[in-house]
Amino acid sequence: MMKNRLVSAACIQSRLKFAVMMLLVVSLGAGFSSCTSQKKLAKKKAAQELAEKTAKAKTDLLAIINDNGKMTLEEKEFKLAAVKRLKLEDQEIKDLIIQAEEKLAAERSVLEKKKEEERLMREKEARERELRESGPYRNINLSLDAVANAGDVSVANMKIREAMASFASEDVPVLILISSDGDIKDYDRPTTIKKYLEFIKDQKKSPNKVLNAVFDSNGKIKELELIKK
């Protein structure tokens, strides 16, 4: 009888061990399944994020390529740099990056050329201004500018009288050069110094400078040739 009890206890212990082992197996299986699911979710999330980044990068690149002036060059360069930092391996994105780079390079070249032209123009204007202020016709140019820049009509009339002292008469011809090709010159309709001075008084600006002046034996101007500043 004692022997039967011992056998029964051993059986119970054996069954308990088996049950514990099965629980461990189930637990391990569940844990493995959970880990696998998390990896799948992480992989799916990464793929979704990559797709979103790729789609946005494509949109930004196309916006750069198709831009018709709504964005500044700096804005487009910023967008392009942001896309390039993503280092996407998508071939379409790589091709669009090349197109965007070519477009921005062309725009940059045009902008630099424009800036250079503006710089040269400023230098030319500075040289011409210096020539007007220090050249042989400095006083005549200053007289014309004084009439145009007068504060009111009475001051302008006074400046006209002062300017007229340099001319042989009120009817001295004034020629305004429009264009020239070698010895061929094209002039605006001839006027007189009196009419021209009245004109710049009314316009309140002196658009032309002295190109040449012919003097009489008394040192008075008897003919004036102007050209656009």
pLDDT in tens, 130-141: 655 666 788 899
Q: How confident is the model at residue 17 (pLDDT cuts 50, 70, 90)?
A: low
CA separation, residue 187 to residues 145, 183, 193, 201, 223 (Å): 21, 13, 15, 22, 14
- Lowest-pLDDT range of 22-36, 75-89, 129-143: 22-36
Tens of pLDDT, residues 154-192: 999 999 999 999 999 999 999 999 988 877 888 898 899
pTM beyond 0.75: no
